[in-house]
Structure formats: C-alpha cells, structure tokens
Structure 1
C-alpha cells in the first residue's frame, strides 16, 4: 500500500512506501482462534440443517506455536521440520458446544468422513484433517448423494481456510482485521466470482456502495493471483491533483511492477484524467514482468451507481471485468453472524446477547445500510448493555 502527497515546492506527485513487503509476511501459521472457530461452525451448522444431519465436525492437525493452536500451511522442508518440533495434536470444531471430540453420540460405523486437502499455490495438496458427519437417527441417507454434498462442504471449509490465510496475512501487511463474516449465498457466490477473476489478467472494476468491502475484494484478488512477494499498491483518485494523473500513474506503476495496482474511486477523475488512465493501461498491459503482465489493475467506483460518461462506461465494458459486491440487505443470512462477531469483539466484560424481539428488530430495520453501520450500532450497544440480554427498546435507542 502507498500514500500519495504533494511536494511543497514543485507540486510533483510523490509515492512513498508505507508497508515494506517481504516474504515473511506470508501467513503460514494460521491461528485456530475464536473467529476461525466461529466461521467454521457457521458452515457446519448450515450443512447440518441443509442435509438433515445429526451433527458435523472437522478435525484438524494443529501445532502449538507460542502457546496457541495453529494450522501450519507448509510449503517447504523447513516448515515440516518446524512442525515436527512442535506439539502436533488433533483439534475438533463441532456443531455441538464442546470441541474436545467430534460429538457425544458419534457412531463410527454410520458416520461419513472426507479429507480436507488444502492446495497451496505451489506444491502438492496438504492434508489438514477430516470432515466428519453423522446422519440423523431415522433419516435414510443415500451414501453417494450425501458424500457428494459433503464434498462441497469440505471445499467450503478449505476456501474458508484460504480466505483466513489471506485475512491473517492482511493483518500483518495492512495493520487491520478487515474481512467478510458470514456464510450467506451472496457471500459464497462472491467468493466464486473472485476465484474466477483471479485466474485472468484483465482489469477488474469493483462496483459497490461504501461499507461493502471493496478493499477486501481487491486484496483477495491480489492474494489469489500474485506471488507472496508481489506488491499491493493502493491509491485514491480523490487525492490526486488535477492534471497530474499521468505522472501519478507512472509513480504507482513503478511501485506496483509485478503486483497489483488498486485505483479507488475512478468516478472522481475528470475526463482528461480518465483519458490518462486509459492511456496508462493500454501501455502497461503490453509490458511484461517475470513472464506475467507487469501489473494487475483493479479499479473501484465510489458507489454502485456512480455516474460515468458514456465513453468511460464503454471503455470499462470493453477492457474490464465487473465485480459487484452484495449490499448488507442481500446478505440477510449473515446479519446474526455479523452481529455476534462484533458483540464478541466489543463486549467490555462478559458477552451479551439480544432478545428474540431485538433480533427481529435488527433483521427488519432499514436504518442499517452497510456493515460499518452495523458495527457502529453493536459498539454503542456494548456501552449500554447492563445485562446478558439486550431488549428491543435498548436496540431501538441505538438505531434511532
């Protein structure tokens, strides 16, 4: 990531590196912490409800590193030796409350088990553990069909681990913990779309409203399509000096060579500055770096329906692939998961919960447009919550 500022004397745009990128920032140690367990439980519980199971669980081989359980995503001999030196043990995440065994009424003879294989960018797939499921009593399950459905659940767990690796890496590189929470259909479709776009080299235009996760999407595309050591350079067009777009883009390209350039809020560009962006890309797209395009261009609009000139829209339609991010109202299934995640994050003492009436109010309100507003509301609730349960009246006072 870089910041742009104007030199006091000559007003020439200057690019300054804020986060030095090096290979040590790649997340090989993925902590099995509260948020990881929460996300995994969301997927397992959804599978239990959808497939008519009694219980489901995953068992993961973890290493105790600096006092914490970690998944070790190995990709060289040194990592394997490091894993061998640590205390390797099985860690269970179950749909039941206890995580010290798959589940209480586990019957090995009637259970289904599938491997969890994590495919690294380079090297052979790595066995991280297993997905275990128990059919509900009295429910006749066709083994072939259930195995096929569980394979999709296993893939979803693996994608979650991959996303979590990206998140953990982002904490070290970018200094924040921004990532998507939930398991809604809209979010799963978004993951699939990002996977598809990461395989290509065309520019990507992210179209979404504020608070939808545009930076998260750009980082995900970068991490899925570029090597660990490739730079991720971000710049906001609102900060560009008029008439300096060509020189700014040249500076950005110098830093982003071999990596990703994320240009935010391109609808803020004047017609001449947008022309400079077009000229830049036509030139940069033909340059290659280490056998790949010299830079991966990602752009975003300030809002989903940000106005653009017809010529700009036509150029983007011809040269960029669009990535639309779902709004909070489209992620209905994620609302409780998001709220509970922020409750755990902001609870000052013991975690609190909402009454069912309060949950219904939260799910029906139109005042929360994006995730940032939901986060702010939960943060306010954490300051006024006097008991284990927050009433609808207390929630209404925060929303009004």
Structure 2
C-alpha cells in the first residue's frame, strides 16, 4: 500500500516566489499546486482537496483574508499559513484571527518555511475534531460547551492565545488541553508561574545561561524557552512580569530566537506561546504596567474561562468527579453527597472557583462521619461574611485568604481528635469518620505528621 503524498496549495501573484515555494515543497516530497490569483485559488479549492495552503496576503484581485473566508466555507479543516511583508505584524495578527495557523514574513527563510510546512501538515494529521479529549473539561453548561468548541478550533492554530479568567477557574487545564489537542502534543508542555520567579533570575530562567556567566551559575542551563522547543510554553500570571523582562520576551517571541546569558550567539526556538492571568490585561496595559506591543502580540486570540458561579449547573458533575478522584487518591471509597449538601453548594458564590470547590470537598470528605457528606461538613463561610460561629471557633479575618481560613478549620478539627485520643492516629481517624490512610494523607498535607507512628 503506497503512502498518500500530502497536497499543498501555493497562492502568490509573484511568479518568482511562487516558483521558489513549489521547488521547496517538491524537495520535501510534497505535491505542490500553484495559483497566481485569488480567483484561481478559489477554483482549485472548489475542485479538489488539499492538506495545506500557503498564501500571500496581496493577491492582485484580492487578499489572503478573502481566501481565508472562502476556505472556511469549502475547506474548514485545511490549515492555512500566510506570507506577509516584513514587519507587518498587524496583518499577520489579523490573519490568525481569521483562522490562519501561522505566518511567515518576507524575505522567506527556507528553514523557517520548512518548519511552517511541517507544523501545518502536523495539524492535518492530528485529526483534532475526533480526539474527544475536550471531555476532560467537566461540565455541559452553555458556557462550557462554547469553551470546548473554541478550544478545538484554537488547538489547530499556532497563534499566541491569552487565556483569561478568575483565579482557580482552570486556566492551566485549558492551556494543557489546547496543547494536547494540537500537532505539538508529542512535544513538551512547559508551564511557568511568572510571579514566582525573582526578577533578577528571570532572564536566566527564560533563556538559560552558560556556566560561569554570573555568580551561582555552576552549570549550563537551557532555560524555559529551549526546554519547550517544539512544544508549548505556558506563561501563567504573565501580568506579573516586570517591564524590562517584557521587552526581552517580546523580542524572543517575534524573532523566534533566544540568547542565553553569557552566550554571544542566539539560538532558534520553535514553540507556541500560551499565557494567562487573573488580572485584566487590558487594564494593566492602560495603567502602563504592561507593554502595549507585547499585549497585542500575546492577545492574538482570547479564550475566556467562565467562573463557577456562571455555570452552576455543572456543580453536580464537578462534585462527582472530584470525589471520585479523591477516593482513588486516598485508596478508599468516595462518600456520597446528600441532596441538601449539593443544594448548599449550588447556592454558594465560589469566589475561589473550581479550586475552592476541590478544597471544600477534600475537607468535607475528611470530616464527614459516615459515607455521606452533609451540609455541616462543608463549613462554607457565611453569606454575609460577618462574624459567625465555626468549627474553628472564630470568624475569618478580612485579610485572611479564604483557603487558609478553611484549612485552619480543618486543622483544628483534626487536632481536637488527636488530642482527645492522646495522638493515637487509628483512634483519631475512627473519631473523625475516616480511614487511617486518609488521616495520614491529611496530616502530611497540613504538616502535622510527626516522626512517631503511635497508633
């Protein structure tokens, strides 16, 4: 059985460049067909199927955007890359918003062209629409169905994507899903929290360094960009980057090269950039804390992750999923949740979103005294946010983060049980209505475990 040769459509009104592209594709063992105008390209697309299309933006009788619009109707699964005039980032950005997966600037560099073609053919082979991996996002609300559909479309593109949403809503999960559904899914997914890196170490962390280039550089370091080469780099909390680092990041993204600290030469990188922050990036830009040029480079396409309070109908499915996962992790049978407890959760605003729901269920599973979680096990804050009696015996201080407050409640309940049983863990676990294994897990997480294993 002979292997099918991929078919590529080349559209350019410049004969010399058209010929160069056809020759390059031929050397790559690809079947290239050329069109010198928009009308000719439309006719070819209507007559036959192609695995990939390369089109110039200026076509004499139209533009590359006109071709993109036509292709969306007659060949929606065909990846399209555009060729733009050098430095025309606005045009390239507009093309990617219309559905192009990537772009290349004139004069065309052959190594960059080959990479562009390989990326496009990788999209064709990925069969994105049939993977079903988007089901790893729990929920069938209208907002989640819309997000899942958007993710399927975004996965085929190589455009930078800005993932917006509140803290705890699942932005990194969305980023990982975009990566796993795309043509780079067999390469690395590298996630970094920009707010967790000291300012003086950022350049080294992102771009790497040579041994001896500064005090403490005891060995060579590749850096995050080169670690993600071929794959995806996810910049979480990108709004926390200082301005001097934003300049360096912009150059690395535009030039697709990095220069490690202490190196004289730049290294090429081929990766996809995804970023996220819980802040309003447009507001940060208006306030002068985020560079305008970097904002428009990163925010080619925005994917918004809705807060949990806007998709309350997904809470039952999320509760079931989280409890099953916790049961597997603790090697115990997950408890059921009563209708009253589920109703209580459905009425709670969840300022911490899905992450807070996970913490609430983890605590409830620890504290429930049987096989069923009841409202009293949830320990939700009072809706009025005023002083209230809690298991911890005190109201939450306004400056104390909610997660720390709820963790303190759980810690106090466990300590009470341990004190009552003279730190006999088996007896304490029985008193708390959990397995010994579950209690040991909680003690380790809350840093209450001691060297002695008295039971």
TM-score normalised by structure 2 residue count = 0.44
Higher relative contact order (CA 8 A, sep 6+): 1
Of the two, which has the highest radius of gyration?
A: 2
Indicate the structure with greater strand content.
Answer: 1
TM-score normalised by structure 1 residue count = 0.50
